[in-house]
Chains A and B, each alone.
Chain A
Amino acid sequence: MSVLLDVQAVGKAFPTPDGSSLRVLDSISFGVGEGEFVCVVGPSGCGKTTLLQIIGGLLPPTDGRIVIEGKAITSPQKQMVVVFQQYTKSLLPWRTVEGNVGFALENLPLDAGERARRVSKNLEAVGLIGFERYHPYQISGGMQQRVAIARALAREPQIMLMDEPFSSVDAMTRQGLQDLLLSLWREFGKTIVFVTHDIDEAIYLSSSIVLLRGRPSHAVERFSNELPYPREKLATREDPRFVGYRRHLSEQIGSAPAGG
């Protein structure tokens, strides 16, 4: 499998109010192959969101670089889209559901027919047919996040970067969204980098896991997730391998040295 996205020795430090600087990420390196579903797991506050923003070209790294298909990037790229954690804030509240999905296509060289086709195709993919004319405030949180996913898919990116996209919805909705995302991933064959602090979620979704730990965070390990697809909400979680990964990751994260 060829490496599509390469995170090379990425580090990030932020200035602090007292004039010094706080290092949150240190020398993080990992590669993501075409079609992989990589989950980056780490404790809350370990800089996962920062890392994803750097990968997405939204934030410059202090050290290191992001390389896509052999080319170092410094700004958001056409073949890559970020799905944000705060769906309520990332949808355009003045636009309807279909207007929000169409938003992703307005600066692509597509004719009106192709645009409309992509909007309805992706709304159908996330199960939102019939809600085209609703505004975000008129639908539930889970549906709003599905709009955000449809919007990202409509752009037909090679890579989707997802920042804890399901952490603000209730548990039942989350399960549904996870299954939806898995089926979309298998159907459309995207490469996904998915950041989460939820170990179960990471194991359930990923084909490969990167574990971040420490202060500043660094990638302590990367391993393939051998659980077979398609995954199923009960059977997969009862698989001994699932239980094993879970124990391992919990121990790894739990044994992180206390912050400082």
Chain B
Amino acid sequence: MGRTARLRLGGFAVLVVLLLLWEGASRAALVNQIFVPPVTKIGSELWRLLLNGEILRHLGASAVRFGLGYIIAVLLGLGTGLLMGYFRAGYLLLEPLIEALRPLPPPAIIPMAILFLGIENQMKIFVIAFACFFPVVVNTIQGVAGVDRVLLDTARTFGLTTREILWKIVLPSASPNIVAGMRIALAIALILTVISELVASNDGVGFMILDMERAFRIPEMYAYIFTLMVVGYLLNRLFVVFESRTLSWYFGQSRRAQE
């Protein structure tokens, strides 16, 4: 076994040892068993909630908000970013607005969003989309600004219209930056999904974490936290697959440049 493989295995071992320590400490009552139940107890709760469909139901509720908010943000961010990056007028007109809103920590708009949109999905989707919009916009603008002059001249010598230039040259050329923005937005979407559910909700994984804590059903609270961990991990893996498919040319090019 190579060094890398051994170390990778070691990394898993660290995780397993910590979980065992947790288990032991809890069972030996070295920590408060009520606040820190044994891992196996959390595991069996998790299993029970999976089997009776509770977790899936709440995951579904969260996924709708997360998904819609994220997709809206990506589409709007991409469109706005292209407009601002490619057209000088678009940039000059919108940049002050974007720069004014961007420093705002997104949770700060939740109370206002509740005022206008209530406490249902609309509000949560709005808040998620608002938060995810900025990394997509900013990265798209950066990507568009980096499109090479020669590539644009090439498009013009072949008689492409502005729409074709945006679609066939600017968008793919800026895609490494755009995807980087989408990756940041993905993490933010998950954060805002949970926060919006903590603030006002009657379902969703974020809501359940708070609700179980209030009901003093601590193992269930941990079960939902673990669920989020797994979901976050899987989302990231999924994104890596998407990234390597869309940007295979870019990674190939960078590898070649380093040789």
The stretch from B17-25, B211-219, B249-257 touching chain A is B249-257
A90 touches B150 (CB 8 A): yes
Instruction: Select A82's contact among B148, B153, B169, B252, beta carbons within 8 Å.
Output: B153
**Given A104-B158, A107-B159, A137-B256, A93-B250 contact (CB < 8 Å):** yes
| A87-127 interface code vs B (CB 8 A; 1 in, 0 out) | 00110111100000001101100000000000000000000
Which residues on the A side are within 8 Å of B257 (C-beta)? 137
| Interface: A53 (CB within 8 A) | yes
Which residues on the A side are within 8 Å of B156 (C-beta)? 58, 76
Which B-chain residue is minimally distant from A82 (CB atoms)?
B157
| Interface: A155 (CB within 8 A) | yes
Which residues on the B side are within 8 Å of A89 (C-beta)? 148, 150-151
B151 touches A58 (CB 8 A): no
Which B-chain residue is minimally distant from A100 (CB atoms)?
B154
Query: Binding site of A, secondary structure by majority: helix, strand, loop or mixed?
Result: loop
B153 touches A84 (CB 8 A): yes
Instruction: Select A58's contact among B157, B172, B175, beta carbons within 8 Å.
Output: B157
**Given A89-B150, A89-B151, A137-B256, A94-B159 contact (CB < 8 Å):** no
What distance in Å separates the Cβ of B103 from its nearest Cβ neighbour in chain A? 33
**Given A92-B169, A107-B159, A137-B153 contact (CB < 8 Å):** no
How far apart are the CA atoms of A231 and B175 in the complex, in Å?
45
What distance in Å separates the Cβ of A55 from its nearest Cβ neighbour in chain B? 11
Which A-chain residue is minimally distant from B172 (CB atoms)?
A94
| Interface: A167 (CB within 8 A) | no
Query: Binding site of B, secondary structure by majority: helix, strand, loop or mixed?
Result: helix
Which residues on the B side are within 8 Å of A104 (C-beta)? 158
| B127-154 interface code vs A (CB 8 A; 1 in, 0 out) | 0000000000000000000001011011
Which A-chain residue is minimally distant from B255 (CB atoms)?
A137
Which B-chain residue is minimally distant from A155 (CB atoms)?
B158
A92 touches B158 (CB 8 A): no
**Among residues 32 to 48 in chain A, which have CB atoms less than 8 Å away from a CB atom of chain B?**
none
**Given A103-B168, A107-B164, A90-B252 contact (CB < 8 Å):** no
| Interface: B71 (CB within 8 A) | no
A93 touches B153 (CB 8 A): no
| Interface: A61 (CB within 8 A) | no
Q: Size class of A's contact patch?
A: 20 to 34
A76 touches B157 (CB 8 A): yes
B150 touches A86 (CB 8 A): yes
A92 touches B157 (CB 8 A): no
Instruction: Select A94's contact among B157, B160, B250, beta carbons within 8 Å.
Output: B250
Which residues on the A side are within 8 Å of B157 (C-beta)? 56, 58, 76, 80-82
A78 touches B153 (CB 8 A): no
How far apart are the CA atoms of A213 and B37 in the complex, in Å?
86
A137 touches B154 (CB 8 A): no
Which residues on the B side are within 8 Å of A62 (C-beta)? none
A90 touches B253 (CB 8 A): no
Which residues on the B side are within 8 Å of A137 (C-beta)? 249, 252-253, 256-257
What distance in Å separates the Cβ of B61 from its nearest Cβ neighbour in chain A? 38
How far apart are the CA atoms of A104 and B160 in the complex, in Å?
9
A138 touches B252 (CB 8 A): yes
Which residues on the B side are within 8 Å of A107 (C-beta)? 158-161, 164
B150 touches A84 (CB 8 A): yes
Which residues on the A side are within 8 Å of B159 (C-beta)? 76, 78, 107
A81 touches B249 (CB 8 A): no
Which residues on the B side are within 8 Å of A246 (C-beta)? none
Which residues on the B side are within 8 Å of A58 (C-beta)? 153, 156-157
Which A-chain residue is minimally distant from B254 (CB atoms)?
A137
What distance in Å separates the Cβ of A50 from its nearest Cβ neighbour in chain B? 12
**Given A56-B157, A76-B156, A135-B252 contact (CB < 8 Å):** yes
How far apart are the CA atoms of A106 and B158 in the complex, in Å?
9
What distance in Å separates the Cβ of B42 from its nearest Cβ neighbour in chain A? 46
B249 touches A53 (CB 8 A): no
- For the complex of A and B, the 5 pairs showing the least CB-CB separation, nearest first, are A89-B150, A82-B157, A137-B253, A94-B249, A90-B154
